[in-house]
Structure 1
Amino acid sequence: MDTGDRIAALADEIRGMAANGLHYAHDTYDRARYERLVGIAAELLSLADPRSAAEIERAYRGGLGLLTPAVGAAAALFDDDGRLLLTRRADNGRWCLPGGAADVGESPSAAAVREVREETGLHVTATHLLGVYDSRLQPGPVRGWHAYTLVFGCRPDGGALTVNHEVTAFAWCTEAEACALDLTGGTRLTVPDAFAWHRDPTRTVFH
């Protein structure tokens, strides 16, 4: 983890402590201390983020409730030849498993199924939990808020691959082909694990 990533991680941890402190605190002096910590976290993150401390603090204060890591869900989907489906993101051109943030009121597996449908046009059923991943432990930059991603092995049920505003291309890849692509940081972990799971469906990994 480089210096910028470490600064961002510390700022996020301070932000979480401050938000949870404000959620539970009743003492005026304690609340004042936690309010100050919000400002310190924002100023600290501004050292590693292009936004100003004021912009970051406004974003922080938009979500000052009880905080826990965010939750995402992704899908590992294989064809009959044992190739894994990857999508190319429209925002940065990099490749990843289909997936995204879970909605409130939605189970993790339902989130994975929905994300596959929205990003690829395919209908799938989640059949196995492949792994649980901590964003702080993925390769590459870890800027942003702390998150857990649950990856599910999925069975195709129909539909057709269709590009959209989130995804510009699809690829069914062997393990070697997948690892040769420009993968997002977290996908560099999940791709090898997906192929390992495909060889042994009893396998589950977690951080």
Structure 2
Amino acid sequence: MTSAVAAVITDAAGRVLLCQQSQGHRLWCLPGGRIRQAESPVHAAIRDIREETGLETHMVDLVGVYELTGNTCGEDMPDVLKYVFRGQIDGGEASVNSPGRICWLSWHDPGALPGPMTPVARAAIADAVAGHSGVLRHVERDSEPEIPDAADAPDVIEAEPLPVAAG
């Protein structure tokens, strides 16, 4: 089983920072990544968010631990244990810093999230918006993620700074 981290980061308007993956089905996801050997989940989240977005953050609390299982489109995928934190921005200028991993960064209202989205991101955002902390959930991968029409895609910013207010 692979261990990974992510964070639900919101701005002053309550919008959630999302990344769009640059490979595969280009799913929308929360910023984060894999935990390195001898690295704590909190340090991994801070490091991965900095590497992907350029933002300096701190983790406020643990939204939940999500066990992700199942296959996507017939592909055998490893199971993942993902720690999802509630994070706050301390500084930095948001931009796409890892184009091999993500191609877009943008803020989204939790009631109007883009698709297709990773199942862990959907579950964690719902838990965070509901004010939950420390939840334990089993989440199944979508067997075939829906690919939206490009005309329905949200306005996003590619590799340019996003306005960020330090929290």
Do both share a fold (TM > 0.5)?
yes
Cα deviation, residue 188, structure 1: 2.4
Alignment of 1:24-39 (within 5 A): none
Point out the structure with max Rg over C-alpha.
1
Cα deviation, residue 171, structure 1: 1.5
Distance 1:144 1:193 in 2: 25
C-alpha change, 1:85 and 1:141, in structure 2 (3 Å) is: farther
**Secondary structure of residue in 2 paired with 1:177:** coil
Task: List gaps (5 residues or longer) in structure 1.
Answer: 1-68
Partner deviation per Cα, 1:61-105 (whole Å, 9 max, x = no partner): xxxxxxxx2210101101001111000111132200011110001
**Secondary structure of residue in 2 paired with 1:170:** strand
Report the equivalent of 2:53. Answer: 120
C-alpha change, 1:186 and 1:157, in structure 2 (3 Å) is: same
Relative to its length, the structure with more strand (as a share) is 2
2:110 aligned residue (147, 159, 175): 175
2:11 aligned residue (58, 79, 82): 79
Task: List gaps (5 residues or longer) in structure 2.
Answer: 138-167
Over the residues paired in the alignment, what is the CA RMSD in angstroms? Answer: 2.2
Alignment of 1:87-126 (within 5 A): 87-92=19-24, 93-126=26-59
Out of 75-84 and 187-196, give the one that drifted further: 187-196
Are residues 1:190 and 2:120 paired? Answer: no
Cα deviation, residue 194, structure 1: 2.4
User: Contact 2:27–2:117 (CA<8 Å) still a contact in 1?
Assistant: yes
User: Contact 1:78–1:84 (CA<8 Å) still a contact in 2?
Assistant: yes
TM-score (norm 2): 0.72
Share of identical aligned residues, percent?
31
Relative to its length, the structure with more helix (as a share) is 1
Higher relative contact order, chain-length normalized (CA < 8 Å, sep 6+):
2
Report the equivalent of 2:163. Answer: none
C-alpha change, 1:177 and 1:141, in structure 2 (3 Å) is: farther
C-alpha change, 1:143 and 1:154, in structure 2 (3 Å) is: same
User: Contact 1:96–1:183 (CA<8 Å) still a contact in 2?
Assistant: yes
User: Contact 2:6–2:30 (CA<8 Å) still a contact in 1?
Assistant: yes
Are residues 1:70 and 2:5 paired? Answer: no
TM-score (norm 1): 0.59
Amino acid at match of 2:57: V
Distance 1:138 1:148 in 2: 15
Cα deviation, residue 141, structure 1: 7.1
User: Contact 1:75–1:152 (CA<8 Å) still a contact in 2?
Assistant: yes
Cα deviation, residue 124, structure 1: 0.1
Distance 2:15 2:71 in 1: 23
Amino acid at match of 2:128: A
Distance 1:204 1:183 in 2: 22
C-alpha change, 1:127 and 1:174, in structure 2 (3 Å) is: same
